Chain A
Amino acid sequence: MSEIIELNREIEKLQGAEDLFFACYSDDVPQNGGVCVKYKNEQIAIFNFTRRGEWYATQNMCPHKQQMALSRGMIGSSGEECEPKVACPFHKKSFSLKTGDCLTGEDYKIRIFPVIINNGKVFIEVKSIG
């Protein structure tokens, strides 16, 4: 039964999503790490949070010094709530993978995108990208 529910969820997700972009295969992304994909003129970072069984996508640019680097950052968690996060490799500014909020006390915010995994493929919902 749980498989059927899961399948239903997947279908709901796909139906609810708009403008899905096939980014890469799920095994292209290192476990507990990230890669960068190119979508039109945008760079999107995708994270395979194997430890939590979760996937996330954010803008690749770190807003601190406008460097295309977040996909190369380390992921982890922060606080009691175990907020999933990525730390930019340049100056270790950390961002929530769930909300895009900066967790190191600055005013920055990064864009986040819904990720859908289907049949070993990674899709990103790019409705919000121009």
Chain B
Amino acid sequence: MTKKNVIVIGNGMVGHKFCEKLIAKSNEFQIIVFGEEPRIAYDRVHLSSYFDGKTVEDLSLSSLDWYHQNNIQLYLGDAVTEVNRTEKIVHTQSGRTQNYDYLVMATGSAPFVPNIPGVEKEGVFVYRTIEDLDKMKAHASKCKTGAVMGGGLLGLEAGKALLDLGIKETHIVEFASRLMPRQIDDAGSKLLQGKLAQLNLTVHLNKNTSAVLGEKKITGLAFADGSELALDMLVISAGIRPRDEIARLCGLEVSSRGGIVVNGFMQTSDESIFAIGECALFNSMIYGLVAPGYEMAEVAASFLCEGDKQFKGFDMSTKLKLIGVDVASFGDAFISEPDCTSIIFEDTHKGIYKRINITSDGKQLLGGILIGDAEAYNMLLQTVNNKIVLPPNPEDLILGARGGESTVGASVMGLPDDALICSCEAVSKGAICNAVINQDLKTFDEVKKCTKAGSGCGGCVPMVKDLINGTLTENGMYIKNVLCEHFDYSRQELLDLIKMNKIETYDQVLDTFGKGDGCEVCKPAVASILASLWNDLILKQDTIQDSNDRFLANIQKGGTYSVVPRIPGGEITPDKLIVIGQVAKEFNLYTKITGGQRIDLFGAHLVDLPAIWSKLIDAGFESGHAYGKSLRTVKSCVGSTWCRFGLHDSVSFAIEIEDRYKGLRSPHKLKGGVSGCIRECAEAKSKDFGIIATEKGWNLYICGNGGSKPQHAELLASDIDSETCIKYLDRFLMFYVRTADPLTRTATWLNKMEGGMAYLKNVIINDSLGIAEELEEAMRYHISTYACEWKAAIENPEMRKRFSHFINAPEEKDPSVKFETMRDQVKAETW
């Protein structure tokens, strides 16, 4: 039986692997190999070890003997120049001709040399073959400074090679904004850069080389930004170019950007010709690593033996030791929100950076990056590849399991270490506290940068701050609770200062007590203080308000707003219900009953808000302040008017209370509830204040919270009459407004209060601070100065003008707003 001829073009790592695979599978083929290089296949991955003592033999993957023993004809230093596909013959440089049944192109790639003036100068090298290394070696003895152009994987290897060659001053010049842009992210790059600096490798990022300087020999590089770098030698490692020339010449399908197009069997557009390794383009992708090349060799060899293996793309996960630093990148290393959540651990002291990306439901690992410590690489790669379900605390994967502590009361410090604090970024309490302790962090911004906690929706920010302060306190450090970088005061201190000095504008506050130009933290905080103290129309200082307060509506996905008219106690007449329906229909709004017994209308264009509110106000509605840090609703059960169990008229009392405190600006939103009996249908104990009817009067509970950390309100006073109840509420609410930190709900405020409920009871009921009268007076002032903000806004043409999207096309709506339909209503387009 005559054997079929298989010609392999190229004797690199992948070409050699193909021979091994085919020999192992079958003896029905006569293999003929043509290699351009004079050497037998060698290990290019560890090329730099050639400079620290490895010989050519050490690097060789095989020997001439092996080829001989396996009856493979090997022609080195003889490149194939032409393929005649009709006659199935190849021609080589030396004039050989050889017929084939199957042809395998394993031509690899060539270093990409960018078209920069002067690259032809003496002292400029590429880094791919042993010959390249020999040339570098010969030149390097005369050199003091050298650089590598390209900060990718290979470029860093080349940098190490220069160090090994004894070049004292070595630079890495990278066009992108980070090192190894395909494998690691910015944070990882920064860390790696620091490590390289310790080894005398100076990294220059964002450098666009415009010329190679020098007469005949290189003397330096000139960059587009005008700077220059003096050099004695340069190694270019700017990427690869697939060697597809022969394929192009013989008319195989190739990509305009380089690469021989192959299918899953590694077959080119000619069914008897295959391409494997770096010259092959599968699914528009070149695989520039050795592992996928080997897999391609396996697939092609298997296909010739009538196997049905297919190449399905390849996991580009890599782990390597770069100049003594572990660097690993696996799975989907770069996927980010909203397609996943990332857990990031960074320790700049030890030089460790770890990032894992997990599915939003926290069940599966998608990929990640490890720098400095890649011990977990294999386990993590396994977890990705086998879709292993993650433990409840996925951060353990990179941080190791950490035990909980005994609980210390209801404060955040009492939470177990694995309690999830930031659910957007999946950061645990332990991660935050560890960051504070191990990295000597003191401010929220530092912790946010380090752990990512609080960088998503921001809902956890107060908790993160408490953890930072709590951790610092436990470690015996003094903390000053300041508003932000522009004010060295806490909210309470600032409130007192503003009050004493009777200051009414933000700019005055900033000029008198602050520095810089303010920010999105102190502006709304001061706005809230000013509103609490003076109850002036907030639109008079609209640009210091959070966007919601600035436009008196809640910004929602897509940039439209939602509108919530006040429906005190959840009681509404049929006529008013009809008006809401009509308005929603006219302006194409989505309607939903809220948790606080009101109706939210979504999808309102900014330009439509004044018209919508005019109609609502005409029908007797008022602003519901759903957009403000202020009183939202007082929820009620139906009470004694209809309910056969009801003790008192909870609806009437809820309406009275809601009307009393409506518009009260506070550190955070406020919610209340009134239940007509012990069955507690209004769920009042989950509110900031809850009133529950008893046989003898009302029980008043305060500082409850639903939300992310539910907490029942605690009893302040029992069996009190309506008047006393209101008096206590006045004092309680004003005390909270005066003393709480920004964005702190009453529950958290109480949890942090020294002396807790006993102290608060003393202040409110026994007037232990002697401020009860002042607090009540402040509340009376608030009530007497209340005005519906929306009514004021629509009646003032100047203010009304602000409700436009385009200042130069005020009638036009934002054209980027798009709706989808769901259950017969509009919904915002998903982002």
Binding site for B on A (CB under 8 A): 23-24, 28-38, 41, 43, 46, 49, 51-52, 61, 65-69, 72-79, 82, 84-85, 87, 89-92, 94, 104-105, 107
From A32, A61, A90, A105, B543 is in contact (CB under 8 Å) with A32
Whether A52 and B519, one on each chain, are in contact in the complex, defined by CB atoms closer than 8 angstroms, is: no
Please report the C-alpha to C-alpha distance between residue A107 and residue B703 in the assembled complex, in whole angstroms.
40
Shortest Cβ distance from residue A60 to the other chain B in the assembled complex, whole angstroms = 9
Question: How many angstroms between the C-alpha atoms of A108 and B684 in the bound complex?
Answer: 44
Interface of B is mostly: loop
B555 pairs with A37, CB closer than 8 A: no
Complex Cα–Cα for A29 and B543 (A)? 11
What is the CA–CA distance of A68 and B831 in the complex, to the nearest angstrom?
12
A42 to chain B, nearest CB (A): 11
What's the minimum C-beta distance from A106 to chain B, rounded to whole angstroms? Answer: 8
Instruction: Verify if B695 is at the interface (C-beta below 8 Å from A).
Output: no
Distance of B562 from chain A, by nearest CB (Å): 14
Q: Are B519 and A78 in contact (CB under 8 A)?
A: yes
Q: How large is the interface on B (under 10, 10 to 19, 20 to 34, 35 or more residues)?
A: 35 or more
C-alpha gap A8/B570 in the complex (Å): 65
Q: Does B204 contact A (CB under 8 A)?
A: no
Docked-complex contact A67 and B559, CB < 8 angstroms: yes
**A77 contacts B555, CB within 8 Å?**
no
**When chains A and B are docked, how far (Å) is the Cα of A90 from the Cα of B806?**
19
**In-complex Cβ contact of B808 among A24, A61, A94 (8 A):** A24
- With A74-B523, A76-B523 known as contacts, the answer to whether A49 contacts B517 (CB < 8 A) is yes
Q: Mark B446-466, 1 if CB is under 8 A from A, else 0.
A: 001100100111100000000
Q: What 10 A-B pairs come out closest when comparing CB atoms?
A: A89-B547, A33-B543, A76-B519, A77-B517, A87-B520, A35-B807, A74-B520, A38-B806, A76-B518, A77-B516
> Which chain A residues lie closer than 8 Å to B551 at the CB level?
72
With CB as the reference atom, state the residue of chain A lying closest to B338.
A65
Please indicate which of the listed interface residues B485, B522, B806 has the most CB atoms of chain A within 10 Å of its own CB.
B806
Q: Are A77 and B519 in contact (CB under 8 A)?
A: yes
Known A72-B551, A73-B547, A92-B520; contact A37-B807, beta-carbon cutoff 8 A: yes
Flag whether B2 is at the interface (Cβ < 8 A): no
Give residues 246-265 of B contacting A (CB, 8 Å): none
| Residue contact B457 to A91, C-beta cutoff 8 Å | yes
In whole angstroms, what is the CA distance A92 to B524 when docked? 13
Decide if A36 touches B807 in the complex (CB within 8 Å): yes
Interchain CA distance A91-B516 in the complex, whole Å: 23
User: Are A38 and B558 in contact, with the CB atoms below 8 A?
Assistant: no
Determine whether the beta carbon of B806 is less than 8 Å from that of A78. Answer: no
| Chain B residue with Cβ nearest A61 | B816
Complex partner residue of A38 from B524, B547, B808, B817, CB under 8 angstroms: B808
CA distance A26 to B297 in the complex (A): 67
Identity of the chain A residue whose Cβ is nearest the Cβ of B809 in the assembled complex: A38
Chain B residues near A66 (CB-CB < 8 A): 831
B546 and A74 contact, CB distance less than 8 A: yes
Assuming A23-B807, A30-B542, A75-B517, what are 7 further A-B pairs, CB within 8 angstroms? A24-B807, A30-B543, A32-B543, A65-B338, A77-B517, A89-B547, A91-B456
Residue ID in chain A nearest B816 by CB atoms: A68
B812 within 8 A of A: yes
Name which residue of chain A comes closest to B454, CB basis: A92
Find out whether the CB atom of A23 lies under 8 angstroms from the CB atom of B808: yes
Q: Which residue from chain B places its CB closest to the CB of A54 in the assembled complex?
A: B517
CA distance A78 to B457 in the complex (A): 20
Within 8 A of A (CB), among B545-559: 546-548, 550-551, 555, 557-559
Contact flag A36-B543 (CB < 8 Å), given A76-B517, A91-B456 = no
* A104 CA to B542 CA, complexed, in Å: 24
